[in-house]
Amino acid sequence: MAPRFVYAPAPESRAVVNLRPSYGLFIDGEFVEPIDGGQFKTENPSSQEVLAEVSSAGLADVDRAVRAARRAHEEVWGPMPGRERSKYIFRVARILQERSRELAVLESLDNGKPIKESRDVDVPLAAAHFFYYAGWADKLAYAGLGPGPKPLGVAGQVIPWNFPLLMAAWKLAPALATGNTCVLKPAETTPLSALLLAEILQQADLPAGVVNIITGAGDTGAALVAHPGLDKVTFTGSTEVGKQIQRRLAGTGRRLTLELGGKAANIVFEDAPLSQAVEGIVNGIFFNQGQVCCAGSRLLVQEPIAESVVEALKRRLETLRLGDPLDKNTDIGAINSSTQLDKIRALAASGEAEGAQRWSPSCTLPERGYWFPPTLFTGVVPAQRIAREEIFGPVLSVLTFRTPDEAVEKANNTTYGLSAGIWTEKGSRILHMAARLRAGVVWANTFNRFDPSSPFGGYRESGFGREGGRHGLEAYLEGSLDG
Amino acid sequence: MAESRLAVRKTYKLYIGGAFPRSESGRSYLVAGPEGHPLANAALASRKDLREAVVAARKAQRGWAAATAYLRGQVLYRVAEMLEGRHAQFVDALVAGEGLTGAEASSAVDGSVDRLVWYAGWSDKFAQVAGSSNPVAGPYFNFSIPEPTGVVGVLAPQASSLLGLVSVVAPVIATGNAAVVVASEAHPVPALELAEVLATSDLPGGVVNVVSGRTAELAPVLAAHRDVDALDLAGAAEGTEAELEAAAADNVKRVLRSRRPGPDWSAEPSPARMLFFTEIKTVWHPVGV
């Protein structure tokens, strides 16, 4: 076994975050009490401590938010020249950078993810996203998406709990740059960073109603996506809910973008740079506790190196540090909610029941909070649930292959198609494989890497439409096929 | 005095996997001209025929997508050449079927040939216009390219049985998709004639499949089919779109909605249809010594 190092605790101070005891809904530029909604509590999943009370938007609140967005679109944001919109969005990006530490700590508190991830990935990428799209606002005519590009109007945006601030940025930045106004619904278990973002939007003097943020559970989201006052709906979340939304919007003529689940293959060839690949596999599945739609949850290893890769992985997993998300040395944080933990447990149990071999490193789980150890399944066959269903947790299924063709076949043997990984030293093989994998994002000798200039989105049941890059603008612009 | 000669009438069949089978159901229906006079019998495709067409399309799609863009362009151009060569025949079909004047029919056939040439030229340019290389912050060559969505179900426009048809099918196949086309119900003859053009144009069998029959019977099957990746509702009957779209959500199909009134098919299109039936793939390729 690898030597264990003892690390002194290195907690990030949470004093930088000033939480209010309760939050209203952010509608028309102000925090307001719900009309027909209620209140709910949001907790720290690593300690089950209640962080704040948050409002739940009811039907009348949703309606009020959509109306505010409509008015802002017609009177302010729609007519505003692109260069002025641009400066507002740049301003938001800058404030996000200035308040990055506060945002990172808050994100880790509410979500349970390690501070090193919220600090180094979520928050900087969110700022970068606003910065990238800010520059598009006055250059849309050059985006190659038709002459005289026009905004759609009001967008209803529903986002998940795994990257709360980053997903808000992915939705808001391109929508604002293209001249749309927004009603954003953060996830029930992670509303706080979006509410801090609302304060940042106030600080940036963004005109009232351009962005409205309504918190709540699934009911609020369902009420939002069904609201007839919207021109556009975007959703990031499970494939199951995505299909419901697609059905709900059938016949309405409203535009839709879906970014749904995945079951990504991470394919390791025998010539792969092994230590780099092991790091990449770990990052691919244990980043954000595996609660990532594009997680590399199916490891496909070429047979000759399968044994040594699994051994190396086990050695590496023994060194991962699980615990306090605010500790700067923590690699694995808490699972976001008890609901999610139950789901992960059930699927992991099905793996054992269906005959796969389960392994986890020897780590002690904290007594309070929602925790699941990094878990590896070997002896996995494609028919098992753990090889087919999205677990959305720190559970890796290891399968093997002999030839590149077999790897392609196994990788594509899924109804999803969000992402895939390839590990090899051979550039020509990377491009050969990349062309054959039915996935929207293909990482070679890396995994789970994101950039605002790089389009992201799925094939097949992983959804449609792209976020990021020039392509991300298309989701928010009127096209020649719109009737 | 010359003996009068009995005309040889044409039998129209389905076009599936490059072959011309009858409907497995043995059914046919009478196609009438604008005044109600009988023109021809067309096969009344069954659900099973449609499913066979999807199988054929799936089988052909991978090879078609793997063909070079240059080759796909040449095949589409060849289709245009063959259509041009049969110009008079299609004019007759449109006059008899849709009741167009000779000049209107001729302009529809001209437009169809030109549309095919337009898309033929797109096949090896589309990826350049729709793709990008992306300046990511890291040691990666990051590029995005359009790839075909896969098998596309097409409900061909009901009114414009040739130009409308060509306008919806050409963009689907130009980028490497395979199509299962439900022909205009009332005017299926131009689609079935076009199938003969396709069959003699080096287009691999199965890339385009054409079935004739009742749209109301076939459309729900296509919409709900798990191995169809996308759907063009151009020819869907008014009032049926919501149901078809809802069925299509079962496997998150990409659904191109129909517009009311339908588009002016004679207007020059944009690349939007090609964009709609392609997926953007982004590749992160490492850079290093």
> How does pLDDT run across A5-57, given as a tens digit for each residue?
678 999 999 999 999 999 999 999 999 999 999 999 999 999 999 999 999 99
Residue that has been written with the tokens 């022909």 in this structure: B183
Same domain for A223 and A80? yes
Determine the pLDDT at residue A3.
53
A414: CATH: 3.40.309.10
Catalytic residues of A: 259, 293
The verdict on B273 touching A (C-beta cutoff 8 Å) is yes
Confidence label for B7 from pLDDT (cuts 50, 70 and 90) = confident
Average pLDDT of chain A, as a whole number: 97
Give the closest-approach CA distance of B76 to chain A in angstroms. Answer: 23
The verdict on B286 touching A (C-beta cutoff 8 Å) is yes
The verdict on B259 touching A (C-beta cutoff 8 Å) is yes
Among B140, B259, B264, B283, pick the best mutation site for testing chain A contact (most A Cβ within 10 A): B283
* pLDDT single digits (tens) A410-447: 999 999 999 999 999 999 999 999 999 999 999 999 99
- The answer to whether residues B44 and B28 touch, using CB atoms and an 8 Å cutoff, is yes
* pLDDT single digits (tens) B91-102: 999 999 999 999
Confidence label for B227 from pLDDT (cuts 50, 70 and 90) = very high
User: How many domains does the structure of chain A reveal?
Assistant: 2
CA distances to A416, B51, B151, B165, B179 from B223, in Å: 19, 12, 12, 19, 13
* pLDDT single digits (tens) A284-295: 999 999 999 999
User: How many domains does the structure of chain B reveal?
Assistant: 1
* pLDDT single digits (tens) A373-394: 999 999 999 999 999 999 999 9
| Residue A14 falls inside a structural domain | no
| Half-sphere exposure in the Cβ direction for A448 (13 Å, CA) | 25
Among A225, A412, A438, A459, pick the best mutation site for testing chain B contact (most B Cβ within 10 A): A459
* CA-CA-CA-CA torsion sign (A182, A186, A188, A192): negative
Percentage of chain B exceeding pLDDT 90: 94
Determine the pLDDT at residue A363.
87
What number of C-beta contacts closer than 8 Å exist between A and B? 131
How many CB atoms sit inside 10 A of residue A415's CB?
Answer: 14
Same domain for A45 and A138? yes
| Residue B62 falls inside a structural domain | yes
Confidence label for B2 from pLDDT (cuts 50, 70 and 90) = low
Measured torsion, CA atoms of residues A296, A299, A300, A306, in degrees rounded to the nearest 10:
150
Give the closest-approach CA distance of B159 to chain A in angstroms. Answer: 18
Confidence label for A483 from pLDDT (cuts 50, 70 and 90) = low
| Residue B66 falls inside a structural domain | yes
Confidence label for A4 from pLDDT (cuts 50, 70 and 90) = low
For residue B279, which residues of chain A lie inside 8 Å, CB to CB?
A: 440, 459, 464
The answer to whether the complex's ipTM is over 0.95 is yes
Locate the chain B residue with the closest alpha carbon to A468. Answer: B134
Q: Is B1 a residue whose pLDDT tops 80?
A: no
3-state SS string for chain B: CCCCCCCCCCCCCCEECCECCCCCCCCEEEEECCCCCEEEEEECCCHHHHHHHHHHHHHHHHHHHHCCHHHHHHHHHHHHHHHHHCHHHHHHHHHHHHCCCHHHHHHHHHHHHHHHHHHHHHCCCHHHHHCEEECCCCCEEEEEEEEECCEEEEECCCCCCCHHHHHHHHHHHHCCCEEEEECCCCCCHHHHHHHHHHHCCCCCCCCEEEECCCHHHHHHHHHHCCCCCEEECCCCCCCCHHHHHHHHHHHCCEEECCCCCCCCCCCCCCCHHHHHCEEEEEEEEECCC
How many CB atoms sit inside 10 A of residue A128's CB?
Answer: 21
Average pLDDT of chain B, as a whole number: 96
- Residue-number span of the structural domain to which A223 is assigned: 22-260+461-474
Determine the pLDDT at residue A1.
47
Q: Is A116 a residue whose pLDDT tops 70?
A: yes
- When pLDDT is averaged across residues B129-150 and rounded to a whole number, the result is 98
| Residue B65 falls inside a structural domain | yes
* pLDDT single digits (tens) B233-281: 999 999 999 999 999 999 999 999 988 888 999 999 999 999 999 999 9
Same domain for A364 and A271? yes
Same domain for A248 and A374? no
Q: Is B193 a residue whose pLDDT tops 70?
A: yes
